[in-house]
Structure 1
Amino acid sequence: MSRSVALLGSTGSIGTQAVDIVTRNPERFTVTALSAGGGNLELLARQAVDLRVEAVGVARGSEDEVRAALSAAAQQAGVAEHRPTVYVGEQANQQVARHGADVVLNGITGSIGLAPTLAALESGSTLALANKESLIVGGPIVRRAARPDQIVPVDSEHSAVAQCLRSGRRDEVRRLVITASGGPFRGRSRESLRDVTPAEALAHPTWDMGKVVTTNSATLVNKGLEVIEAHLLFDVPFSAIDVVVHPTSDVHSMVEFVDGSTILQASPPTMLIPIALGLAWPDRVPDAAPAYDWTRPRTFEFYPLDPEAFRSVPLAYRVGEAGGTYPAVYNAANEECVEAFHAGRIGFLDIVDTIERVVDEHHAGGESAANPGNIGSDLDVPAVLRAEAWARRRAREILGLAPLQHDERSAS
C-alpha cells in the first residue's frame, strides 16, 4: 500500500535523499507536498514537477517567483505546465505539514521546525523527525501533541536505538549508548582548538551534512542535542544515557539490556537507511542503501568522550535535566554562535563558552521580563519563543554583535 509523503526542507541534505528513496520506490511512496526555504527555487521546482506534487511551500520569496520557476522546470522537462497550490511566507512549512499526508518528513534545520512539527502532529500524520531541534526546544509541548508511536526518529543514532529496542521490552532496557564520531577534532585538547578555522570545522571525516549540523558535530553540540532528544523520544533518564566516541560511524547506537546483552545497529555511514525507515516504519525498504561485505576484515573501536575538550556534552546533560526553557536557550545561543563563527566574528572555542554563559545567566535570571526563566512542565510555545529571543539577543550582546532583525531567523 502506497504512503503519501510531505517533505519539509526538500532541497536540503535530508530532503534530497528522501526524494531519492521515493523515486526508487514509486510503488511504496507518493510525494504530495514539498517545502523549502527558497534559496534554491530551481531545484524545488524541478522536484515539484518531477514528483507532480499537489502543493509547494516556500518560506522566502513570492508566488510569482515560484510559479515562474515551476513553468521553467516543466518546460525543461518537456511536460505540460504544472500548477500546484503554492504557499509563501512564514506559514508555508506549517501549511505543507497540514496537507494531510500519511507521513510528514521534517528535514528543516533549526528550531524554526517546531511549528511545522506541531502542525504535522495535530493533523494526524506520522512525523518522520529529522529536525531534532523542534523536539528538543519543544520538549513537553511536542510530547503532549503526539499520540503513541506517532513520531519516528530519523537521526541515525535515534533510528538505531529504535531498531535495537525491538530486541526487548522497555522495562528490560538498562541504558542507551549514543555513538559520536568525534568530528574532525577527535583526540585534540581544548587548547589546541583555539585557532580552528571554519573550513577545518566543516571537514567532517565521515558525514556530508549542512553547515550548521557539521559545525555542531565539530563542537559536539550536536551530540549534546542528541542526548536530550534520546531522553525525550524514549523516556529514558539522563543517568541511563551514555555517549561514546566511535570514529568510523559504523555503529550508530546501542541499547544495553538488564541481562548484560548489548544490541547494536551497524551500517555504512549513510542517512538513506534512517530516512527510508522514517518513511516506511515499522517496515524496511529493500536496498535502501548498500550493506557491508562481512567477508572482509572490519574493526569497530570505541573511546570515552573527553568532557574537557568538548564541554558542550556535559552542558547538554545539565540543560536537559533542568528542562523547561533551558534546551531552547542552549540551542538558540548555539545557532547564533555558529553563524558568528562562520562570519569570522568569533573563535571556535567561543561557541560553547558563550552558550554556557547564556545558560548560566538564564538560570540566574529567574522570571524577570528581560529573562523569561524556566517554567518546567508548564512549557508552551510563547514561552519557548520568548526564551529563544532572549538567548539570541544575549548571545549577540556577549559577542558584541548587532541586534537581529525580526526576520533573520524565519527561513528554513
Structure 2
Amino acid sequence: VSLTPVDSEHSAIFQSLRGGTEKEVKRLIITASGGPFRGKKRSELENVTLAQCLNHPNWSMGQKVTLDSSTLANKGLEVMEAHWLFDMPYDKIAVVVHPQSIVHSLVEFCDGSVIAQLGVPDMRLPIQFALSWPERYDYSFEQLDLVAAGNLTFEAPDLEAFPSLKIAIDCGKAGGTLPCAFNAANEEAVYAFLAGKIKYLDIPYITATVTAQHNNVLRPQLEDIEATDAWARAAAKGVIAKL
C-alpha cells in the first residue's frame, strides 16, 4: 500500500523530496526542537521535574510524546521511521536541533541544493496535506510570517546530555528486533517517570541496559516482534525495580 506520512518531520521530507529524483538525494535532515532542556548539561538534568519536562516551548502534545521530546528519544524513533518510509540508509539521515520549529525537515540533493518545508508549528498542516495529497487545500489556520518568526538557528544535538537519541539510532542501525526492544523499554521507563518511580536520567539508563541485554533476532517474524516487546517491557520493569 501507499503510505502518506502525517508527522510534521516526515511530511516535510515527503514534500521536499518532490524537488528531485530518488537517485539525486544525498541525505535527509530531520529537525528537532531540542525540547525544554536544550542547552542544558547532563549534570543539570539530574533532578528535573515532570512539570519542567512537560513544558515544551513550541508544541502542545500528550505527556508521552512531550517527555520523549525532552530526552530526544522521539527523534531517534523518527530517524527509524524515516529509514523505512523513504528507504534511506541510516548514514544518510542526520538530525539537527532547530529551536524555532519553523523548518520541519530538509532534503539535501547531490548538487548541494537543500530543499526544506517551512510552516508554523501546527499539526493541522501536515495532517491536511496527508489528506489532500497530491493536491493542496486552502488553509484556515495561522500563516507563517517569516519577519515575525525572526532568526532561524540550527545546532548539533548534545548526545552526552541526551543519549537516548544515539541509543535509538544505534538500535535502528543494528536492525532486527532491537528497535522494538528500544521502543518498549523506553515506554516503560517513561511510564515509570510519569508515575514518580524513577529520576529523569534513569530513562536512557534503562533503555541502554535493556537493549544491551537483548538477544537480537535479525530477520524477525511477527511473533518475534511480539515476544521482544513483552520481553523488553518485563526487563525494563526489572531494572526499574532495582533503582
Match for residue 382 of structure 1 among 223, 226, 230: 223
Match for residue 350 of structure 1 among 178, 187, 202: 202
Match for residue 193 of structure 1 among 40, 45, 51: 45
Superimposed CA distance per residue, residues 22-77 of structure 1 (whole angstroms, 9 cap, x where no aligned partner): xxxxxxxxxxxxxxxxxxxxxxxxxxxxxxxxxxxxxxxxxxxxxxxxxxxxxxxx
* Structure 2 residue 239 is the aligned partner of structure 1 residue 398: yes
Instruction: Give the secondary structure class of the aligned counterpart of 2:51.
Output: helix
Amino acid at match of 1:342: L
Superimposed CA distance per residue, residues 96-147 of structure 1 (whole angstroms, 9 cap, x where no aligned partner): xxxxxxxxxxxxxxxxxxxxxxxxxxxxxxxxxxxxxxxxxxxxxxxxxxx3
Report the structure number with the largest CA radius of gyration. Answer: 1
* Structure 2 residue 127 is the aligned partner of structure 1 residue 275: yes
Amino acid at match of 1:210: G
1:295 positional shift: 5.3
Please give the residue correspondences for 1:11-410 in structure 2 after superposition, counting only pairs within 5 Å.
Answer: 147=1, 150-294=2-146, 296=148, 298-362=150-214, 373-376=215-218, 378-400=219-241
Instruction: Give the secondary structure class of the aligned counterpart of 2:151.
Output: coil
1:273, 1:288 within 8 Å by CA — same for their partners in 2? no
Identity of aligned residues (%): 49
Instruction: Give the secondary structure class of the aligned counterpart of 2:169.
Output: helix
Structure 1: 5+ residue stretches without partners: 1-146, 363-372, 402-412
Instruction: Give the secondary structure class of the aligned counterpart of 2:69.
Output: helix
1:290 positional shift: 2.1
Amino acid at match of 1:385: E
- CA–CA distance in structure 2, aligned partners of residues 349 and 340 of structure 1: 12
- CA–CA distance in structure 2, aligned partners of residues 282 and 331 of structure 1: 32
1:272, 1:288 within 8 Å by CA — same for their partners in 2? no
- CA–CA distance in structure 1, aligned partners of residues 190 and 49 of structure 2: 12
- CA–CA distance in structure 2, aligned partners of residues 374 and 256 of structure 1: 33
1:313 positional shift: 1.1
1:218 positional shift: 0.5
1:167 positional shift: 0.3
Length-normalised TM-score, structure 1: 0.57
Amino acid at match of 1:292: L
- CA–CA distance in structure 1, aligned partners of residues 149 and 220 of structure 2: 50
Structure 2: 5+ residue stretches without partners: none
1:164, 1:255 within 8 Å by CA — same for their partners in 2? yes
Let me know the Cα RMSD of the aligned residues. 1.2
- CA–CA distance in structure 2, aligned partners of residues 187 and 387 of structure 1: 35
Amino acid at match of 1:388: D
- CA–CA distance in structure 2, aligned partners of residues 295 and 234 of structure 1: 33
Query: Measured at CA, do residues 207 and 380 of structure 1 come closer, stay the same or move farther in structure 2, by a change above 3 Å?
Result: same
Q: Report the structure, 1 or 2, having the larger strand content.
A: 1
Amino acid at match of 1:338: V
- CA–CA distance in structure 2, aligned partners of residues 162 and 316 of structure 1: 22
1:270 positional shift: 0.5
